[in-house]
Structure 1
């Protein structure tokens, strides 16, 4: 592999590895943003898992006919996890670029903390989803509670 090719990303579109200037207009910026979303989906297994789980949560919300306020919290929870996965990927890519396959304890710390941020977001999501879906699921089995209602 030639030295200029050592940072090329696999599965990237043809012109992805050549961009160095600013976006010339809104549509170019939009195209690059969509390409970034595509790249994280192609490269990051955990993001694909979060997207599939988010879709399953969407289906469950439709099935249980969630109230509008419940949808708000579900959306916040799901997008918090997805956003944290974006940030984790950014941090991992930057750390890998800086350390260039050499070990440094601060690189490990940065990657571990970024990954921990995703875990905290996923725990937040789980708690929110448990609070939101609990009465709907229990009601399906004939159990009615007022745990979270005034």
Structure 2
């Protein structure tokens, strides 16, 4: 029983992390809005199973990257509140990774949706 309680607590921490991400981070809120818009567009468009797989994996990639970026920024700020060039480099690289994932998500959305809409 203790093992189950421990697992449930772990899920609670994870859901709290998602809640915190979407509640406090502007970019995560933008990604959440995009998630809703793409999901509604997919339902209206009538996407096929493989198209949904591409969309879901892409959404997961962007949200995961944003979460990692946010976590890295928070940890960096806690460990080194002042400016440090290596901390700045780490933050820039993490933000760049999120941007790369978001651009890839846009490409996937265009590949999936344009054939249906044209």
Q: TM-score normalized by structure 2?
A: 0.92
The equivalent residue for 2:21 is 40
Which has the larger Rg? 1
Count of aligned pairs: 114
Higher helix share: 2
Match of 1:66, SS?
Answer: coil
Kindly report structure 1 stretches of 4+ aligned residues shifted beyond 4 Å: none
Whole-angstrom distance in 2 between the partners of 1:82 and 1:52:
11
Alignment partner for residue 78 of structure 1, among 22, 40, 59? Answer: 59
Displacement, 1:133? 0.5
The equivalent residue for 1:55 is 36
Whole-angstrom distance in 1 between the partners of 2:25 and 2:62:
14
Structure 2, unmatched stretches of 5+, are none
Whole-angstrom distance in 1 between the partners of 2:23 and 2:6:
26
Structure 1, unmatched stretches of 5+, are 1-23, 139-150
More RCO (CA 8 Å, sep 6+): 2
Q: TM-score normalized by structure 1?
A: 0.73
Structure 1 residue 123 corresponds to structure 2 residue 100? no
Displacement, 1:62? 0.4
Whole-angstrom distance in 1 between the partners of 2:49 and 2:88:
42
Whole-angstrom distance in 1 between the partners of 2:73 and 2:24:
12
